[in-house]
């Protein structure tokens, strides 16, 4: 089986490569990234690499050549920065997905797997779980959510035009792994923020909105779900998240904070937005909106159809990445992403 991974050097991509290396049925792994990594380092070794920027107009022609003969394409390419320039991010996030779909349809790829997100969902409940039929209109105040929702519409159109192909939408919660600690710190924080103090000190309180309830999953568990999708040729949408749900008291306990102090969501959002606009930190307020507004997902379909069960709890995954950020660990030979 030949599997192509687009966006293979990122947080999810590295985990997917590890899982594909362990799959007996996979005879050829092809990696696509904006810049090629150090191919002597695992998990990048043993992969045939192509340096392609999916935001560029010539990406369709180049991807067509790479996709030819593939049994499956896994699309993970995504830009989180520069989030002061939404047009630049949209060129990769939305334009890149459209170019990938165009290339896949041109050469008749039989199975396309696209990383969507819980962020694609419209406003929803926090006290009960929703399945994959929940509307994917996104949260309008979040660029990340708008881009994910736009890609859901592109996938709708792909399915209408190409009923012969299998299309799978993977909708995970926040994805954590130690190997991405330094990358996540760089993407969301400024260099002057002293994350190293977390090695010996944790905040005595965590001021957080009560509605900031979200889900997380370890990258290796997400990668296992993606491989099961490819192996079973499973189409449709799959919610992927670990347990338990990450509510403010659980997050405070997990990161070692003394206690959770409820704080008005509007105040938190204002502080985040102001500090982002002043470029004091790199997290825009749309991420607060996602945390407080997207629904809590049911993962029943993944468990029933894929036989998937996460091996790592959401709290352990979160603790792992917090420790890694404090230690500034990263995933070796991956090139630095644009930030």
Alpha helix locations (H) across the chain? 11-21, 59-67, 86-93, 95-107, 143-161, 181-188, 219-232, 248-255, 265-277, 286-293, 300-306, 314-327
Q: Tell me which fold the domain 2-176+215-241+295-311 belongs to.
A: Rossmann fold (3.40.50)
**Could you report the per-residue pLDDT of 190-227, keeping only the tens digit for each?**
565 566 666 667 788 889 899 999 999 999 999 999 99
pLDDT along the chain (339 residues), means of 10: 97 97 97 94 96 97 98 97 93 98 98 98 98 98 98 98 98 92 67 63 86 97 98 98 97 89 93 92 93 98 98 96 76 40
Q: 172, 7, 181: which is closest to 16 by C-alpha? A: 7
Q: What is the pTM of this model?
A: 0.93
pLDDT of residue 280: 87
Cα 6 to Cα 295: distance, rounded to the nearest angstrom: 28
pLDDT of residue 329: 52
Residue ranges covered by each domain of the chain? 2-176+215-241+295-311
pLDDT of residue 15: 97
pLDDT of residue 203: 81
**Could you report the per-residue pLDDT of 117-126, keeping only the tens digit for each?**
999 999 999 9
């Amino acid at each position: 089986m030949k599997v192509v991974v687009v966006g293979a050097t990122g947080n999810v991509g590295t985990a997917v490569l590890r899982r594909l290396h362990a799959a007996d049925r996979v005879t050829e792994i092809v990696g696509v990234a904006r810049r090629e990594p150090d191919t002597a380092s695992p998990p990048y070794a043993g992969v045939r690499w192509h340096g392609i920027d999916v935001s560029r107009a010539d990406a369709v022609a180049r991807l067509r050549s790479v996709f030819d003969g593939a049994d499956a394409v896994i699309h993970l390419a995504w830009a989180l920065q520069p989030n002061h320039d939404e047009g630049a991010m949209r060129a990769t996030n939305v334009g890149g997905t459209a170019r990938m779909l165009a290339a896949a349809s041109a050469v008749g790829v039989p199975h396309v797997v696209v990383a969507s997100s819980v962020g694609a969902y419209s406003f929803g409940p926090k006290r009960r779980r929703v399945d994959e039929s929940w509307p994917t209109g996104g949260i309008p105040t979040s660029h990340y959510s708008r881009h994910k929702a736009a890609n859901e519409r592109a996938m709708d159109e792909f399915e209408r035009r190409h009923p012969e192909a299998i299309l799978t939408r993977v909708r995970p919660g926040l994805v954590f792994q130690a190997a991405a600690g330094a990358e996540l710190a760089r993407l969301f924080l400024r260099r002057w923020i002293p994350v190293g103090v977390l090695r010996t000190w944790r905040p005595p309180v965590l001021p957080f909105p009560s509605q900031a309830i979200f889900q997380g999953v370890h990258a290796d568990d997400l990668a296992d779900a993606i491989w099961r999708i490819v192996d079973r040729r499973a189409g449709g949408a799959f919610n992927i998240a670990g347990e338990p749900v990450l509510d403010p008291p659980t997050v405070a306990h997990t990161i070692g904070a003394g206690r959770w102090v409820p704080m008005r969501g509007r105040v938190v959002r204002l502080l985040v937005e102001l500090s982002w606009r002043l470029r004091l930190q790199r997290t825009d307020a749309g991420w607060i909106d996602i945390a407080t507004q997207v629904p809590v997902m049911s993962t029943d379909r993944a468990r029933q159809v894929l036989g998937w069960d996460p091996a790592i709890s959401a709290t352990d995954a979160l603790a792992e990445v917090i420790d890694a950020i404090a230690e500034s660990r990263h995933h070796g030979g991956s090139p630095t992403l644009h930030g």
